[in-house]
């Protein structure tokens, strides 16, 4: 029995000198987190399940149950996976110390969500033109949960602070935006997007998800859908076409400058001399942006808020971002982690098990990094 241990723990705890609570500092940090998360507003004063119907669309909200039964609560921007990558059909997380296998022919890409790592897989590792795109959720204990969504040639969107997968599909000639809760494996919203008539070469417009907003990349203008209410709008803050919004931020080009902008306000947060071809790539949480050098031999990593940067060898796609915002790459059978403040890189001691698997067993892909779509 452990009553004695319990008693001793309580006795020692009571003897501790407890410092004064820094309430103001806590609230200040809380304000900062709230701004970063841009989470749902105006949905809590509802009973257990609320169904909102507008036109031919709907949204279902489960209050206080973000993440649902199989999600690790509480949800947050970090799934705790540490460095996440895939080789073949094997998913590695926690810096390569943990791994599990996806039961399919190949992994196409992975996405960070608050419910775990969402894996997109199918008959081959192509993002475009590769046939059905199936999804599975890998939770922190390594369990693989099939997700009932199957897409084909679309660009989905996730927000790492939420358990949702957003995508668009065309139903009877009409573009619809769909939001699927991957934790509960339930569709929670489906809204029509009127006047969405042309877009890039996918079967439906590419989308990005940030908080309550689904950005829909159409050719004439960037459309927005509030997936909680179904309200459709447009924004001039982002250029039309491909929506690349991460952590509420997006990248753009203006003249010879590459910029990171706040998607909601259009405010320029970072401006970098980009020459003719330079382009910024955002980290999953939008806190960092990378730009490759013209000769392709180094990559600058910018802290968007601080405006500072470091330089690393290689190129942007040679590095992955962990859900916690740490840079890493895989070399041989080791994970190398690089500091975004000092550029110091450290080779991990863990030897990555060589599992591979599938039709492309040596295909290395970093977490939350997508290629063509």
Partner 1 sequence: MARTSVTDDEFTEFVHAAWPSLYRTAYLMLGEHQLAEDLVQTALAKTYASWHKVREPAAAPAYARVVLANTAASWFRRRSWRNEPPTEVLPERVGEHDPSTRPAVLDALRALAPRQRAVVVLRYYDDLGVRDVAQALGISEGTVKSQTSEALARLRTLLGDAVVPMTEGARHD
Residues in contact with partner 1 by the rule CB under 8 A: 1-2, 4-6, 8-16, 18-19, 21-27, 29-34, 37, 39-45, 47, 63-64, 66, 72-76, 78, 80, 82, 94-95, 97, 140-141, 324, 337, 346, 348
Q: Are 226 and 215 in contact (CB under 8 A)?
A: no
Q: Whose Cβ is closer to partner 1: residue 32's or residue 275's?
A: 32
- How many residues does this entry show for the chain? 373
Smallest gap from residue 285 Cβ to partner 1 (A): 14
* HSE-CB of 206 using CA atoms within 13 angstroms: 20
Smallest gap from residue 349 Cβ to partner 1 (A): 8
Smallest gap from residue 144 Cβ to partner 1 (A): 14
Smallest gap from residue 13 Cβ to partner 1 (A): 4
Task: For residue 296, count other CB atoms closer than 10 A to its CB.
Answer: 9
Smallest gap from residue 68 Cβ to partner 1 (A): 12
Q: Whose Cβ is closer to partner 1: residue 13's or residue 198's?
A: 13
Name 171's bridge partners. 174
Q: Whose Cβ is closer to partner 1: residue 38's or residue 223's?
A: 38
Q: Whose Cβ is closer to partner 1: residue 88's or residue 116's?
A: 116
Q: Whose Cβ is closer to partner 1: residue 93's or residue 215's?
A: 93
Smallest gap from residue 71 Cβ to partner 1 (A): 10
Greatest Cα pair distance, the chain, in angstroms, is 72
Smallest gap from residue 217 Cβ to partner 1 (A): 29
Q: Whose Cβ is closer to partner 1: residue 242's or residue 328's?
A: 328
Q: Cα–Cα distance between 228 and 123 in angstroms, integer?
A: 34
Q: Whose Cβ is closer to partner 1: residue 63's or residue 126's?
A: 63
Radius of gyration of the chain from its Cα atoms, rounded to whole angstroms: 22
């Amino acid at each position: 029995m452990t009553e004695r241990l319990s008693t001793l723990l309580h006795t020692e705890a009571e003897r501790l000198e407890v410092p004064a609570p820094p309430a103001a500092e806590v609230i200040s940090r809380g304000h900062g987190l709230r701004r970063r998360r841009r989470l749902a507003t105006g949905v809590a004063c509802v009973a257990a399940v609320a169904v909102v119907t507008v036109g031919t669309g709907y949204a279902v909200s489960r209050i206080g149950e973000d993440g649902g039964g199989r999600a690790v609560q509480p949800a947050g921007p970090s799934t705790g996976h540490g460095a996440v990558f895939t080789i073949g059909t094997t998913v590695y997380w926690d810096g390569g110390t943990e791994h599990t296998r996806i039961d399919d022919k190949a992994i196409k890409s992975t996405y960070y969500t608050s419910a775990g790592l969402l894996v997109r897989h199918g008959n081959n590792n192509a993002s475009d033109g590769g046939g059905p795109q199936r999804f599975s959720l890998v939770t922190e204990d390594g369990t693989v949960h099939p997700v009932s969504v199957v897409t084909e040639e679309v660009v989905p969107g996730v927000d790492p602070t939420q358990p949702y997968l957003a995508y668009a599909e065309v139903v009877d000639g009409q573009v619809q935006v769909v939001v699927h809760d991957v934790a509960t494996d339930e569709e929670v919203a489906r809204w029509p997007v009127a006047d969405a008539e042309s877009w890039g070469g996918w079967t439906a417009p590419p989308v990005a998800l940030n908080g309550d907003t689904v950005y829909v990349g159409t050719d004439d203008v960037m459309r927005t859908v509030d997936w909680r209410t179904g309200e459709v709008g447009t924004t001039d803050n982002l250029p039309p076409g491909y929506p690349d919004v991460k952590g509420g931020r997006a990248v753009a080009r203006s003249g010879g400058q590459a910029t990171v902008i706040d998607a909601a306000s259009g405010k320029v947060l970072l401006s970098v001399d980009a020459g003719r071809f330079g382009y910024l790539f955002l980290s999953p949480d939008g806190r960092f942006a990378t730009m490759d050098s013209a000769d392709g031999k180094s990559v600058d990593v910018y802290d968007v808020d601080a405006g500072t940067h470091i330089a690393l060898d290689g190129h942007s796609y040679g590095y992955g971002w962990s859900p916690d915002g740490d840079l890493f790459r895989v070399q041989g059978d080791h994970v190398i982690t690089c500091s975004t403040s000092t550029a110091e890189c450290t080779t991990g001691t863990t030897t990555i098990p060589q599992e591979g698997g599938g039709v492309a067993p040596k295909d290395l892909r970093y977490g939350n990094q997508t290629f063509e779509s």
